[in-house]
Amino acid sequence: MDNLTVFTEFLLMDVTASRELQVLQGVLFLVIYLGALTGNLLTVTVIVTDTHLHSPMYFFISNVALLDFGSISVVVPRAVVNSMTGSKTISLPECAAQIFLYILFAAVEIALLVVMSYDRYVAICHPLHYGLIITPSLCSQATAGSWASGLVCSAVHTGALFRLPFTKTNVIQQCFCDVPQILRISSPDVQYSEFILVVVSICFVLACSSFIFISYIKIFSTVVNMHSLEAYNKAISTCTPQLAILFLFLISGSVAALGPTAQKPSLKNLLTAMFYTTVPPFVNPIIYCLRNREINAALRRMLNRDHGRWAAMDNLTIFTEFLLMDVTASRELQVLQGVLFLVIYLGALTGNLVTVTVIVTDTRLHSPMYFFISNVALLDLTSISVIVPKVIVKSMTGYNTIYLAECTVQIFLYVLFAAVEFALLVVMSYDRYMAICHPLHYRLIITPSLCSQATAGSWASGLVFSAVHTGTLFRCPFSKTNVIQQYFCDVPQILRISSPGVQFSEFVINVISVCIVLSCNIFIFISYINIFSTVLKIHSVEAKNKAISTCTPQLSTLLLFFIAGSVAVLGPTTKKPSLRNLLTAMFYSMVPPLVNPIIYCLRNREINAADQDALFRMEIDYGRWADVDNLTVFTEFLLMDVTASPELQVLQGVLFLVIYLAALTGNLVTVTVIMTDTQLHSPMYFFIGNVALLDLCSISAIVPRAIINFLTGSKTISLAECAAQMFLYTLFASVEFAFLVVMSYDRYVAICHPLHYGLIVTPSLCSQATAGSWASGLVYSATNTVTLFRLPFTKTNVIQQYFCDIPQILSISSSDVQYSEFILVVVCVSFVLACVAFIFMSYIKIFSTVIKMLSVEARNKAISTCTPQLVILFLFFIAGEVAVLGPIAKKPSLRNLLTAMFYSMVPPFVNPIIYCLRNREINAALRRMFNRFSKFSVENLSTKTKMSWAIGK
């Protein structure tokens, strides 16, 4: 083309070239993303699990929450990875996919907002006809229509933008593929076509806005004429959140469409993009929780569902929330106290984040000692975050109550982080002892694997201690009083208002804990005695000063921790709030996280020097590996195909696309049927719905990328993408395995103990099991991925597979990584075998009970519910064995491809078929859903026939 340069990848520009600021930007994006993720998933969970919210309005709200989650997930995770790794490139297919998905979710959301305005109009203006007009079938059709219109709009826009090659430049002045930026660098022909499309789209949007505007005018005119105050407040309560979300969506859309297209990166450009991409998904769940009374009430019911069962015992008054007392009743002083706490919290937050950032980004601090210091800084940050934000809100708003569930979580997390920090301080004393007393053997003993094991052991011991401690405190209901003479849920205060049995149990636990702490203190004391006796014998003044410089901050932190702990444990438990009580609590809960970063920065010369260098350093860090022993360090991998023929690759891509769409459809249908059919709202189908979602996610982590590679001929994948792919796939697989264990227990209780099923398998237990499954999956996946990618790849970058497969990555990693992974696999296999034994025993008991059943109907029902789970279980195990025990291919082959397809694509593809064929309830629910749609179609057809007959007549 006239010697033009055609770009197939784009360069995403950052506001700053400083690595420290880029990492900080990545952390900010990560926090916003996690907040949006939590809020939207919580909204969906509350609506799905609470039967009071099974209505059309909340059905649409849950869809909007899912769309918010989808839209922010399209942009932010990639931006986080880029900021953290320093990567700036994005391929043309990825950019097209990002724009397609973002426009799709935005278009579907505006269509749903139009539908929601009509729903509110019918509910408020025509309440008697609401049930006849807004039917489940209409809701499904409206949702399907919204998705169809969104798909058309997104496909047309994306096709118009990417129909011609890019020859001007490949520099995008933004952190993601933004439509205005892509339009800026496209050809004039594309710009003209897009201008026509934008004009047509604006006409549609204006028509939709007019419809919404007219709907709300009629709604508020009806509301104004209402005589009942309760009906008036209810109507306002349901409409206000939707109006707020509508205005936020329109404002962000206007900013995106009408804002100037930046010619160079700037802070204003970044903040503008952040506003319209991250603010709506982040703020919408907050609007629902604050303004919608039903969702607010459902959240309270979910948090307090369990503990209320004690209220009928012996006519006792059982408290399910506590009253936190202030030192003063003056609102001015309470606000001043809140401002003081906010300043302390921001100081601790900044100090600890700076410490972690400096240690992560400065290669001179990549040693065991600073690894432990960064862990302590993270623990300080999280421990103060457990308490202080809630206190700030309480002081500012005057809201003094805290729910039982919140109090439990607060104590569990605070005790957990304190226990883990203490364990790490013990490990750090041993680390300093080896470094100073046995320097020649230091690197042989204090290895990276030992550091990882010590950290994991610290967390394990902290989890055990915190779980036992919290379980003991909250195992009985609170009936004495609900007044806590403190600004947060303090252990001594909770112990004061608990029952005598709990106090005795806690006393025993405290005695055991004190014995363990004293033994650890003796170990630390002996370590530092040996350290200082060795330091005194050192002749070199420089070596002596360096040893003292590394030990003094740790000793200061240790002494501060002990003093704070002693004050917390041995201080008197007050009967009424006082200034002395407040200052004591502030000392042991807020002073250590605030002071520790100052100690490290002032007393540790290496961190001090790194802090000073970080202020002026403007270099990319990952290049540091390139100078290690003149090795070639690979930052991207080459995925190999079975065939070099482009035609066969395209055929393979089409095959994968068909399998992916079938798996997508099957699992989405399973989830939709379970969500929409009230007869399937039981624990078993809750878990089946989660497994279907996990199957959908696991195949989505691998196959879409493979399809793009096959169709475009691209073979490379960056290091960050490979790590993300492996992390997600391992996460979904391990969570699914945990769910299969939980489901075997659910079937055991349902069949072997049917009379106690409703008492044992409660909604709260299901939620806890789900949270536990995700937590265990996150821990395993994070550990596995970090172990594999902790060292650079220098052997080769060729992966004999179509995705980042663990055995393939392991084959090209260093021997140190292979050994660590081997240890991890051995530990995991032990856990898996224990879980398999549990599942095996559960099903033995199940089938022994089924055989003894006299009723043929009950026996058939039990077999009908167990058979699909058993089939899925066996399929999961066979796929897992093939993945783990199969030979590692040295070159691409058809056998290698089929093996990988079996364990990565067959389970998500086959599982929905198993449910539909073998599970009678899901089968019946599918028939009911199809009957509803067919009935609606027949009614429409008969209506149209009658109208045609009447017109003809």
Q: What is the pLDDT of residues 168-195, one digit of tens each?
A: 787 887 777 877 778 888 888 877 777 7
Residue 881: domain span? 636-937
Whether residues 266 and 337 share a domain: the answer is no
Residue 623 clears pLDDT 50, i.e. is over it: no
| Of 577, 612, 647, the domain-final residue | 612
Among 221, 233, 285, 268, residue whose Cα is nearest residue 67: 285
Domain count, the chain: 3
Burial class (CB in 10 A: 0-12, 13-18, 19+), 763: middle
Whether residues 799 and 898 share a domain: the answer is yes
Whether residues 103 and 192 share a domain: the answer is yes
Whether residues 276 and 343 share a domain: the answer is no
Whether residues 298 and 429 share a domain: the answer is no
Count of C-beta atoms within a 10 Å radius of residue 834: 11
Q: Is residue 3 part of a domain?
A: no
What is the distance between the alpha carbons of residues 93 and 648, in angstroms, rounded to a whole number?
Answer: 20
Look over the chain and give the mean of its residue pLDDT values, rounded to a whole number: 77
What is the predicted pLDDT for the residue at 626? 42
Among 650, 462, 648, 428, residue whose Cα is nearest residue 552: 428
> How confident is the model over 206-254, as pLDDT tens digits?
888 788 888 888 888 887 777 777 777 777 766 777 677 777 667 766 6
Mean pLDDT of 730-748: 86
pLDDT band at 289 (very low <50, low <70, confident <90, very high): low
CATH of the domain at 693: 1.20.1070.10
End-to-end CA distance of the chain: 65
Overall pTM surpassing 0.85 (yes/no): no
Whether residues 300 and 359 share a domain: the answer is no
For 381, 590, 595, the CA distances from 391, given in Å and listed in that order, are 16, 12, 20
For 42, 129, 239, 540, the CA distances from 228, given in Å and listed in that order, are 33, 20, 17, 87
* 548-565 burial: b if 16+ Cβ within 10 Å, else e: bebbebbbbbbebbeebe
| Of 247, 271, 304, the domain-final residue | 304
> How confident is the model over 848-865, as pLDDT tens digits?
888 877 777 777 777 777
Among 909, 913, 905, 911, residue whose Cα is nearest residue 701: 905
> How confident is the model over 932-942, as pLDDT tens digits?
766 555 455 55
What is the distance between the alpha carbons of residues 770 and 781, in angstroms, rounded to a whole number?
Answer: 16
| Of 596, 612, 628, the domain-final residue | 612
**Residue 612 in contact with residue 592, Cβ under 8 Å?**
no
Residue 354 CB partners (closer than 8 Å, separation 6+):
597, 611
> How confident is the model over 493-507, as pLDDT tens digits?
777 877 777 777 777
pLDDT band at 914 (very low <50, low <70, confident <90, very high): confident
User: Which of 27-41, 292-306, 472-486 has the lowest average pLDDT?
Assistant: 292-306
Whether residues 292 and 398 share a domain: the answer is no
Whether residues 420 and 512 share a domain: the answer is yes
Mean pLDDT of 638-653: 77
Whether residues 299 and 325 share a domain: the answer is no
Residue 763 clears pLDDT 60, i.e. is over it: yes
Q: Is residue 313 part of a domain?
A: no
Q: Are strands 171-172 and 321-324 parallel, antiparallel or unpaired?
A: unpaired
Q: Is residue 274 part of a domain?
A: yes
Residue 428 CB partners (closer than 8 Å, separation 6+):
369, 372, 373, 376, 554
Q: Report residue 324: phi and psi, to 5°.
A: -90, 125
Residue position matching structure tokens 């003809």: 952
What is the distance between the alpha carbons of residues 765 and 340, in angstroms, rounded to a whole number?
Answer: 39
Mean pLDDT of 733-757: 86
Q: Kindly state the tokens that stand for 83.
A: 């900021």
> How confident is the model over 391-449, as pLDDT tens digits?
877 777 777 788 887 888 888 888 888 888 888 888 888 888 888 888 888 888 888 87
Q: Is residue 945 part of a domain?
A: no
For 47, 307, 308, 396, the CA distances from 321, given in Å and listed in that order, are 23, 10, 11, 20
> How confident is the model over 589-608, as pLDDT tens digits?
788 888 878 777 655 666 66
Q: Kindly state the tokens that stand for 553.
A: 């901050």
Q: Is residue 80 part of a domain?
A: yes
**Residue 50 in contact with residue 302, Cβ under 8 Å?**
yes
Whether residues 289 and 385 share a domain: the answer is no
Whether residues 568 and 462 share a domain: the answer is yes
Whether residues 299 and 326 share a domain: the answer is no
Strand order in the sheet with 401-403: 401-403, 321-324, 483-484
Residue 827 CB partners (closer than 8 Å, separation 6+):
none
Count of C-beta atoms within a 10 Å radius of residue 507: 11
